[in-house]
């Protein structure tokens, strides 16, 4: 780690975390996750926030620049940098008051959040084993990436492996056009698909789809379009510029009768913990949150006291993030 930079009372600590295994993305092979931990100090209290920039937010250099110029009175304007400073300040405030961060966002929070398991197996036997293990571990919702030639076979293997009681959601990351999406979803629907994240890029013209449509990438790009076109809104605080913007958007979605899923975006333990507090604060647990992503990292920012167990994560009673 590079030496921390102190700016008024914000410290910026760059990090690089190794992934458990290289991740194939639309933008190349990802082997590390790079970002910054922001530390805000006040007497004996120490608040932490994470900036994990990625495609859809700012570059790492831009993020650092924004963080360096941040003061307690003016938050950064790019999403990941803003997320980090806001989170550190929330963590600090919650500790001063002596409540879990989630309770700053909503006074009525519960402390259990159901989470989904992302299946990453590449071969059919691997997928089947992984799905069975996740179901046996207590996960009630599994998630499978689609947009490949063998989508139906892979989804069928998972459905057969876990039976009808486990929910199966799919995520196409915008891989299809409208016609392909309608056709694929008609094929997949008999496997009892809970929802499909981002079947196409713009989610236009999918009213006839036999599977509920969730907006993910579209949510950060065009929140109003997401609210208008999807039945489910995926909330990634890192992409939305922090916990508060994500909370506001989530409440708006719920008021309109939509459902929400809070998800981390390959963040370290600090970012994931913030997203967990947000999920608890929205207390909409009809759909499992996408927060069991810590196992995708080979190393982490700190001990993950909020790691899910038996398909649920628990918000600690400790003040602040509880990390």
Catalytic residue among 145, 167, 252, 259: 145
**C-beta of 66 vs 198, nearer to Mg ion:** 198
CB of 305 to Mg ion, least distance (A): 26
- In sign, the C-alpha dihedral spanning 253, 269, 76, 59 is negative
In this complex, which beta carbon is closest to Mg ion, that of residue 58 or of residue 197? 197
Least CB distance from residue 173 to Mg ion, whole Å? 6
Residue whose beta carbon is closest to Mg ion: 216
Cβ atoms 119, 142 nearer than 8 A: yes
Catalytic residue among 143, 167, 236, 259: 236
Interface ranges with Mg ion (CB under 5 A)? 171, 197, 216
- Which lies closer to Mg ion via its Cβ, residue 199 or residue 322? 199
Residue 145 falls in the annotated catalytic set: yes
Closest CB 96 distance from Mg ion, rounded Å: 35
- CB of 218 closer than 8 Å to CB of 237: no
89 vs 195, beta carbon nearer Mg ion: 195
Q: How far apart are CA 262 and CA 267, in angstroms?
A: 13
The reply to whether 236 belongs to the active site is yes
CB distance 105 to 277 below 8 Å: yes
Using only the alpha carbons of the chain, give its radius of gyration.
19
Quote the least distance from Cβ 215 to Mg ion, whole Å: 9
Which stretches within the chain are classed as H helix?
Answer: 60-69, 79-97, 101-105, 124-136, 151-162, 178-188, 217-221, 223-229, 237-240, 243-255, 269-282
DSSP state, 2? P
Query: Could you list the active site residues?
Result: 145, 236
């Amino acid at each position: 780690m590079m030496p921390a930079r102190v700016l008024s009372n914000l410290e910026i600590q760059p990090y690089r975390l190794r992934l458990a295994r290289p991740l194939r993305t639309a933008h190349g092979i990802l082997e590390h996750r790079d970002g910054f931990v922001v530390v805000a100090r006040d007497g004996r209290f120490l608040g932490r926030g994470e900036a994990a920039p990625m495609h859809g937010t700012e570059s790492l250099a831009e993020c650092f620049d924004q963080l360096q110029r941040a003061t307690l009175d003016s938050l950064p304007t790019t999403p990941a940098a803003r997320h980090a400073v806001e989170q550190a300040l929330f963590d600090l405030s919650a500790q001063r008051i002596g409540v879990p961060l989630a309770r700053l966002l909503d006074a009525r929070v519960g402390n259990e959040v159901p989470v989904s398991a992302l299946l990453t197996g590449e071969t059919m036997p691997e997928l089947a084993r992984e799905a069975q293990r996740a179901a046996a571990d207590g996960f009630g919702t599994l998630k499978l990436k689609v947009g490949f030639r063998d989508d139906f076979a892979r989804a069928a293997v998972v459905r057969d492996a876990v039976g009808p009681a486990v929910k199966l959601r799919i995520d196409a990351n915008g891989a299809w056009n409208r016609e392909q999406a309608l056709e694929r979803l008609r094929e997949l629907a008999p496997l009892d698909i809970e929802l499909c994240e981002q079947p196409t890029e713009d989610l236009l013209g999918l009213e006839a789809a036999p599977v509920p449509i969730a907006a993910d990438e579209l949510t950060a790009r065009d929140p109003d379009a997401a609210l208008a076109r999807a039945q489910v809104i995926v909330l990634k605080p890192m992409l939305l510029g922090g916990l508060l913007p994500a909370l506001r958007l989530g409440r708006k979605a719920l008021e309109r009768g939509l459902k929400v899923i809070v998800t981390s975006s390959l963040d370290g333990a600090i970012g994931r913990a913030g997203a967990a507090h947000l999920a608890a604060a929205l207390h909409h647990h009809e759909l499992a949150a996408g927060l069991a992503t810590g196992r995708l990292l080979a190393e982490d920012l700190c001990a993950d006291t909020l790691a899910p167990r038996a398909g649920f994560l628990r918000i600690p009673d400790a003040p602040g993030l509880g990390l």
